[in-house]
Chain A
Amino acid sequence: MSRLFIDFAIQAYLAGAAVGIAAPLIGCFLVQRRLSLIGDATGHLAFAGVAIGVAVGVAPIWGALLTALVGAVALEWLRAKGRLAGDVSLALIFYLGLALGLVVLSAHGGLTASSTGVLFGSIFTITWLDVWTIALLCALVVGAVALFYKELVAVALDEETARASGLPVDSLNVLLVVLTALLVAAGMRVVGLLLVAALLVIPVAAGARLAHSFRSAMLWAIAAGLTSTLAGLVVALLQGTIAPGGTIVLAAATVFAVAAVVGRRAARRHPRSSAA
């Protein structure tokens, strides 16, 4: 039990909690607009960024952040122009990011255990500097969502009408992908670039089952995200050898399953009228 409270465990809880809260928060807007694959694509592109960073001697998180930002804005630009329709173009970006990262990393002899950490998380080896960086990135995400909440909600509900009513929809869309990029960089150490999008989506799907409004769905999603990261970390710490990135996402899937059952029960107990 004592291993649950040693230094690196505390660091992991703090970083995990920050991401567990911020990921579902931004995920709500992505899921509502069916943009969650953008989070995935950004994660894959960031792997190429980490590799290039290693090649030129930059810390992984900054390489990831920079490519995630450039990649996310480029993806949004393509999407707004209607060039991202269909899953083939997104799949192309996924594999391009991974393959490019693989080539650059191996060419520079960086294809070691640490690249597994980039892809699947390495939260038990983080430093206090990492913790503060992750916390700062997540605080930026939470702060921006709080500041632009009513605009982001209006666009998430109905983009066309939001545009017609004078909201700067294009700028808000860029803001959304920029925040997604920050979150991807923050989540890299916690669950890894391949799994970070799971935290954008699964807790949100759980929250959606439990609520009747966007705001309450968001709060439930945050609760689900926080519970999943902490539970996943505790399980990994107690067991000792399994990767926390995996246990966190499995915990999120469990929370979703529970929410789906509870949500269906509640719906049966309060059948909604559907009179005209």
Chain B
Amino acid sequence: MSELTVELAGVRFGYGAAPILDGVDLTLGAGEFSVLAGANGSGKSTLLKLLVGLLRPNAGTVRVLGGSPTDPDIRRHVGYAPQGLRMATSLPVSVTEVVAAGLAPSKGMLRRLDRKDWTRVTEAIEAVGLGDLSAECLFELSGGQQQRAILARALVGHPRLLLLDEPTTGIDQRLRPALVRELRHRADDGATVIAVSHDPDEFHEVCERILVLVDGRLQRITHEEFHHQFHEHGAPG
């Protein structure tokens, strides 16, 4: 469990002149489960995009799974669930098709998904509680159901690093504990999990630590410290 899966050192980033991240350091190992918190606009989504190589830092280094986040061989082992639906809605797309798309990179070019792959797709859909809706068109589902389909796409390939941007936002309160447990199972199996959340409490029982972005820097704190610092004045964001 000593293998480092996330290594950020002195990471600075800004979309324009103003820095969003201003010296972020972080190391995480296999099997660690972290919640990433911070006010709206503090840079949580930006940090995840740096970790998946969709953005490059202005300064500092980003390494995941021992390599560059833009290396295709590394990327195949990273599961990323963006915040909300980022899809063109011109043509219908079924839940099954969205989730199966998560297997395309690890399967490799010119190879069709086989029966084992489709079993994995079914399992991932059931893990997020969409079993009854697998044949439905994604765009006709509610926001929470869409978010769960996007989560299943990130989970289906059993990646070693899971980067989830607000995986529980918009999802029915009653369904959240099962999702949180599923993520804990993935960590127990050795995956590093980072889940962005406005409400770290929902991960209280499963995650080791909270990472909070404040003024472009990352603080590692416990649940107790989080309450102490933020809850008296209401949750950040």
**Which A residues have a C-beta under 8 Å from some C-beta of B?**
28, 31-34, 147-148, 150-151, 153-154, 156-158, 160-168, 204, 207-208, 211-217, 272, 274-276
SS class of chain A's interface: helix, strand, loop or mixed?
helix
Which of B71-79, B178-186, B207-215, B221-229 participates in binding chain A? B71-79
Give the size category of B's interface with A. Answer: 35 or more
User: Would you give the shortest CB distance from A37 to chain B, in whole angstroms?
Assistant: 13
* 8 Å CB contact of A214 from B78, B82, B94, B170: B94
* 8 Å CB contact of B105 from A32, A34, A167, A208: A167
The complex places the Cα of A111 from the Cα of B6 at a distance, in Å, of 65
Known: A154-B104, A162-B101, A163-B54. Is A275-B142 also a contact (CB below 8 A)?
yes
Contact B142 A160 (CB under 8 A): no
Give 12 A-B pairs besides A153-B104, A162-B105 with Cβ atoms closer than 8 angstroms.
Answer: A150-B101, A151-B104, A156-B91, A157-B97, A157-B98, A160-B86, A166-B75, A166-B76, A166-B78, A211-B91, A213-B93, A272-B140
Which B residues lie within 8 Å of A217 (CB)? 91-92
Contact B88 A151 (CB under 8 A): no
Which of B8-16, B23-31, B34-42, B108-116 participates in binding chain A? B108-116
Known: A150-B104, A212-B136, A214-B92. Is A161-B86 also a contact (CB below 8 A)?
yes
B206 on the A face (CB < 8 A):
no
The complex places the Cα of A266 from the Cα of B78 at a distance, in Å, of 40
User: Would you give the shortest CB distance from B49 to chain A, in whole angstroms?
Assistant: 8
Which B residues lie within 8 Å of A163 (CB)? 54
A-B contact pairs, 20 of them (CB 8 A): A32-B91, A150-B103, A150-B112, A154-B105, A158-B86, A161-B86, A163-B54, A164-B52, A164-B54, A166-B73, A166-B75, A167-B72, A204-B91, A211-B92, A213-B135, A214-B91, A274-B141, A274-B142, A276-B142, A276-B144
User: Would you give the shortest CB distance from A34 to chain B, in whole angstroms?
Assistant: 6
- Which residue in chain B gives the minimum CB-CB distance to A163? B54
**Which B residues have a C-beta under 8 Å from some C-beta of A?**
52-54, 72-76, 78-80, 82, 86-88, 90-94, 96-98, 100-105, 107, 109-110, 112-113, 135-137, 140-145, 153, 170-172
Contact B91 A164 (CB under 8 A): no
* 8 Å CB contact of B113 from A34, A150, A208, A213: A150
* 8 Å CB contact of A154 from B82, B101, B112, B144: B101
For A34, A213, A216, the residue with the greatest tally of chain B CB atoms inside 10 Å of its CB is: A213
Contact A32 B140 (CB under 8 A): no
The complex places the Cα of A204 from the Cα of B90 at a distance, in Å, of 10
Known: A28-B91, A34-B90, A274-B141. Is A164-B53 also a contact (CB below 8 A)?
yes
Which A residues lie within 8 Å of B93 (CB)? 157, 213-214
Contact B109 A151 (CB under 8 A): yes
User: Would you give the shortest CB distance from A268 to chain B, in whole angstroms?
Assistant: 13
Contact A212 B54 (CB under 8 A): no
User: Would you give the shortest CB distance from B218 to chain A, in whole angstroms?
Assistant: 21
